[in-house]
């Protein structure tokens, strides 16, 4: 008689179970914390089996990899119109929204965020069910409203947040209801363009500077609240978010990118703005709560920052220069090339050929002092950068001043085109341009 013995391991916690699965060769290697959270939302916190699988299917459709033409695909199983955004976007949206809701820093890339996400889920369910209970008391025995479950959390929290984050990162501004409406009123058209410019800047800043990544918490919160107030027809609150909070978030993001404060300092300021949004506080109480982001500090940071020294610094320079260019074009009523892909060009080359005009106009000391400042950088289209290749080198960095002028003439940005009025690029020219950019900093982001 043969005996078959089956050993069954029943882990004490889901974290232990996940670690066991992840250690079994390649089995389960595609399992991420967001998949664990999906199971919690769809099954543990949803009561009816039908609702469980409908929520599961909707989550899968949302988590599908986005493709060209995928916007507005119809998910037949749940009769919902779903835009696929990808699993990474859902995970990022959950990190941002849970950090905002719990007012705490949540680290990604491990398993611990699942516990924070569940705490966020339980927090939202408790708040919503408390609200429903209070409403029930005021209806004097009316029909009992169903309690909030995981399925409601997905449709009201996860799905809208993921879609908003996806459209923010991809620049699909027309997908936001407060920007999609075309108005014939001049002031509303102006606001629409300005908000698109500001959101473009925020997106580029967050992508360029690691020290500004927490600003995405604020950007997503603002977008969701703006959509909510636009849908409700509450223009007063909508315009308050767009006209007061958005410029504040811009300025604080710029401060974080340039001064590179500690994570604790960054989160403290992010949570201060979130509290102001939550309690509808005045901007005065938030904007002047700290001297770290005052204008003099921003000016000093911009003057001292070595933009041209690193790839991330150059991307940051493009974001700032394009924002300044857009400001000038809006002021003159000109059309802004929002979709143009830009690169940065060092006006004074990083390496000066011996015997060239650059060599005659620049000393080694002055070259070292000014080469990486914002005033020595110009934003040009990537087409212009490719068209200016010389000697197999990328961009127009190594060309003569005359050749650069011919390239700059073809650019749309006014700060780049006005360089063509100069006969020579020397120390006085770069100092004057640095002063001009600092003055624009104050005009755009003054409190």
From first to last of its 447 residues, the chain has per-residue pLDDT tens of 677 777 777 766 655 555 555 444 444 445 789 999 999 999 999 999 999 999 999 999 999 998 754 444 444 444 456 789 999 999 999 999 999 999 998 887 766 799 999 999 999 999 999 988 888 777 665 555 678 999 999 999 999 999 999 999 999 999 999 998 777 788 888 999 999 999 999 999 999 999 999 999 999 999 999 999 999 999 999 999 999 999 999 999 999 999 999 999 999 999 999 999 988 755 555 554 445 568 899 999 999 999 999 999 999 999 999 999 999 999 999 999 988 899 999 999 988 888 788 888 899 999 999 999 999 999 999 876 655 544 334 445 557 899 999 999 999 999 999 999 999 999 999 999 999 999 999 999 986
Q: Which two three-digit tokens encode residue 48?
A: 């009816």
Output the pLDDT for position 398. 55
CA-closest candidate to residue 378, choices 331, 436, 299, 439: 436
DSSP tag of 350: S
Cα gap 46→41, rounded to integer Å: 7
Cα gap 340→381, rounded to integer Å: 7
Q: Which two three-digit tokens encode residue 137?
A: 């008391």
DSSP tag of 352: P
Which stretches within 305-343 are classed as H helix?
311-331
Cα gap 408→43, rounded to integer Å: 59
Q: How far is CA 312 from the centre of its chain?
A: 15
Output the pLDDT for position 292. 53
DSSP tag of 139: T
Cα gap 436→422, rounded to integer Å: 15
Cα gap 331→443, rounded to integer Å: 12
Backbone angles phi, psi at 343, to 5 degrees: -130, 170
Strand (E) or helix (H) holding 73:
strand 73-75
In angstroms, what CA-CA distances link 144 with 48, 156, 184? 17, 20, 45
**Residues sharing a CB contact under 8 Å with residue 79, sequence separation 6 or more, in sequence order:** none
Output the pLDDT for position 386. 57
Using CA atoms of 270, 122, 40, 221 in order, give the dihedral in degrees to the nearest 10.
Answer: -30
Which stretches within 107-185 are classed as H helix?
113-138, 150-153, 159-170, 177-180
β-partners of residue 390 are 393
pTM for the model stands at 0.86
Q: Are 63 and 86 in contact (CB under 8 A)?
A: yes
Q: How far is CA 342 from the centre of its chain?
A: 18
Residue written as tokens 């700290």?
290
Output the pLDDT for position 284. 53
Cα gap 300→292, rounded to integer Å: 11
Spell 224-233 as b/e; 16+ CB within 10 A means b: bbbbbbbeee
β-partners of residue 82 are 73
Output the pLDDT for position 28. 46
Q: Which two three-digit tokens encode residue 315?
A: 């991307």
Cα gap 314→90, rounded to integer Å: 29
Q: Are 116 and 122 in contact (CB under 8 A)?
A: no
Cα gap 165→169, rounded to integer Å: 6
Output the pLDDT for position 391. 37
Q: Which two three-digit tokens encode residue 276?
A: 């102001």
Cα gap 243→251, rounded to integer Å: 13
Cα gap 370→240, rounded to integer Å: 40
**Residues sharing a CB contact under 8 Å with residue 104, sequence separation 6 or more, in sequence order:** 116
């Amino acid at each position: 008689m043969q005996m078959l013995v089956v050993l069954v391991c029943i882990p004490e916690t889901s974290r232990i179970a996940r670690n066991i699965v992840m250690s079994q060769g390649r089995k389960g290697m595609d399992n991420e914390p967001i998949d664990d959270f999906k199971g919690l939302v769809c099954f543990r916190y949803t009561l009816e089996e039908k609702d469980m699988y409908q929520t599961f299917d909707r989550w899968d459709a949302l988590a599908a990899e986005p493709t060209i033409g995928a916007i507005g695909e119809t998910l037949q199983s749940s009769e919902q119109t779903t835009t696929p955004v990808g699993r990474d976007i859902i995970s990022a949206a959950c990190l941002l929204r849970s950090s905002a809701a719990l007012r705490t820093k949540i680290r990604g890339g491990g398993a611990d965020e699942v516990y924070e996400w569940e705490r966020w889920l339980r927090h939202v369910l408790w708040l919503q069910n408390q609200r429903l209970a209070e409403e029930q008391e005021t209806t004097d025995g009316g029909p009992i409203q169903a309690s909030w479950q995981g399925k409601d959390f997905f449709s009201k929290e996860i799905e809208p947040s993921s879609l908003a984050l996806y459209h923010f990162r991809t620049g699909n501004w027309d997908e936001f209801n407060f920007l999609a409406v075309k108005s014939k009123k001049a002031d509303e058209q102006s606001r629409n363009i300005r908000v698109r410019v500001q959101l473009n800047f925020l997106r580029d800043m967050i992508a360029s500077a690691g020290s500004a990544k927490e600003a995405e918490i604020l950007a997503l919160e603002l977008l969701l609240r703006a959509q909510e107030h636009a849908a409700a027809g509450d223009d007063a609150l909508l315009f308050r978010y767009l006209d007061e909070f958005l410029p504040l978030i811009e300025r604080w993001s710029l401060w974080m990118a340039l001064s590179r404060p500690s994570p604790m300092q960054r989160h403290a300021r992010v949570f201060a703005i979130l509290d102001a949004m939550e309690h509808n506080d005045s901007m005065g109480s938030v904007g002047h709560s700290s001297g770290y982001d005052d204008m003099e500090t921003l000016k000093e940071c911009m003057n001292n920052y070595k933009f041209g020294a690193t790839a991330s610094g150059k991307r940051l320079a493009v974001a700032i220069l394009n924002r300044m260019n857009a400001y000038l074009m809006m002021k003159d009523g000109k059309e802004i090339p929002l979709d143009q892909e830009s690169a940065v060009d060092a006006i004074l080359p990083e390496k000066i050929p011996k015997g060239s005009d650059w060599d005659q106009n620049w000393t080694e000391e002055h070259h070292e002092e000014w080469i990486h400042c914002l005033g020595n950088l110009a934003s040009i289209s990537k087409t212009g950068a490719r068209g200016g290749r010389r000697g197999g080198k990328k961009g127009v960095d190594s060309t003569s001043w005359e050749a650069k002028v011919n390239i700059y003439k073809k650019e749309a940005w006014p700060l780049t085109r006005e360089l063509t009025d100069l006969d020579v690029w020397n120390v006085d020219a770069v100092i004057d341009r640095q002063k001009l950019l600092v003055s624009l900093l104050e005009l755009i982001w003054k409190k």
